[in-house]
Amino acid sequence: MAQTILGIDVGQSRLKLALMNGRHVKKHAVLEMPENLVSEGRIVSPETMGEFLRMSMKEKGIRAGKAAYVFAGERVYIRPVTMPLMNEEQLLYNLPYEFRDYITEELKDFVFDYAMISANEEERTMEVMAAAIPRQLLEDTRSILKKAGLKLVKAAPVLSVYQTVLKNQPVTPDGPKDYCILDIGYSGIRMYAFKGDKHLATNELETGLHTLGDAIAEAYNVDPHIAHTYLVNNYDDCQNKEVCANAFNNIGVELMRTMNFLRYSMQDSSLNDVWVCGGGADIPALLKALEENLDMKIHSAGELLDGYGFSDVATGSELFLAAGITQ
């Protein structure tokens, strides 16, 4: 029997909650984050975050005992590793050594985990997606959830969540499908390329919804926090005015360059479709600009959650990570 778990995705400007029973959403909520509670992808005060989470659940009538948490902007290391076939105890013992060239801090200050990708019995090798999470970050996360009356039962970085969702997609007769997921967030944009659920590449742009907020702030003579509220609520139809149109096109051009680089470096892949999630997925004018600049078909990432019970694909896109982490 499927268990009920609350998926939690803490963003720079929004908190996303999805109460899931298996692949069925029971309740969900998206709330504006208090200003300055998250800075550069890190929660400034776990105590305050825990209280905000508790009050948010109470406000939205969400009751849960177990939680799954997405490590989105935090300092988490993740990489594919090919190793000799071994049992779980041996694997966990050896994983830290796979990060010696990536982590400059003491390895004892990290917790290591993995997800199996494949095993080759003939060659006696295994491929895993290895992750290293700062021990203090994990403790802070448990503290946040405990304040809200929740027990942490699962935690994973964004990349792992995407892979989990893609693993459940239908396989075409021609083999695994190529996917490009575009996460348009407040502080930046991340572009992920996959063949089936196998991760091929990630590219990041510092341009994000904050750049749109800056343009709106200047045009309306308001501070950036209010300007971001204007953007997400389309105050004064600002999304369809010149101030945003120029910014949308600039973002589209930057992404076009990144996409061209991805296509050049992965010539055996056919990236013709893009699935958009994050706050930008709910801005039609931005999606239109992306489609024109990228010359690709733009999808809502919520389409990949078909059958999860969301009322529309736009809602599924915004709650993509919060729902996906529970699977």
pLDDT digit string (tens) for 217-253?
999 999 988 998 899 889 999 999 988 988 888 888 8
Which residues, in sequence order, are CB contacts of 35 under 8 Å at separation 6+? 225
Whether residue 46 is found in the same domain as residue 95: no
Instruction: For residues 20 and 142, state if they share a domain.
Output: yes
Return the CATH number at 100.
3.30.1490.300
3 state SS of 316: helix
Same structural domain, 262 and 240: yes
User: Would you say residue 280 lies in a domain?
Assistant: yes
Q: How far apart are CA 249 and CA 140, in angstroms?
A: 39
**Whether the Cβ atoms of residue 227 and residue 220 lie closer than 8 Å to each other:** yes
* Same-domain check for residues 48 and 105: no
Do residues 259 and 215 both lie within one domain? Answer: yes
Within-domain flag for 302: no
Which is higher by pLDDT, 28 or 312?
28
Beta bridge pairs of residue 113: 131
**Beta carbons of 184 and 280 less than 8 angstroms apart:** yes
* Whether residue 130 is found in the same domain as residue 259: no
149: left (phi over 0), alpha (psi -120 to 50) or beta: left
pLDDT recorded at residue 258 = 87
With H, G, I as helix, E, B as strand and everything else as coil, classify residue 250: helix
For residues 17 and 118, membership in a common domain is answered with no
- What is the pLDDT averaged over residues 87-105? 91
Q: What's 187's domain CATH number?
A: 3.30.420.40
Task: Give pLDDT, residue 1.
Answer: 67
Which residue range forms the structural domain that includes residue 29? 4-74+136-161
Domain shared by 18 and 156, yes or no? yes
Neighbours of 223 (CB within 10 A): 11
Quick: pLDDT tens for 247-297.
Answer: 888 888 888 888 888 777 777 777 888 999 988 888 988 998 888 888 889
Contact between residue 138 and residue 155 where contact means Cβ atoms under 8 Å apart: yes
**Where on the phi/psi map is residue 132: left (φ > 0), alpha (ψ -120 to 50), or beta?**
beta
**Does residue 54 share a domain with residue 202?**
no
Structural domains of the chain, count: 3
Asked whether residue 178 falls in the same domain as residue 219, the answer is yes
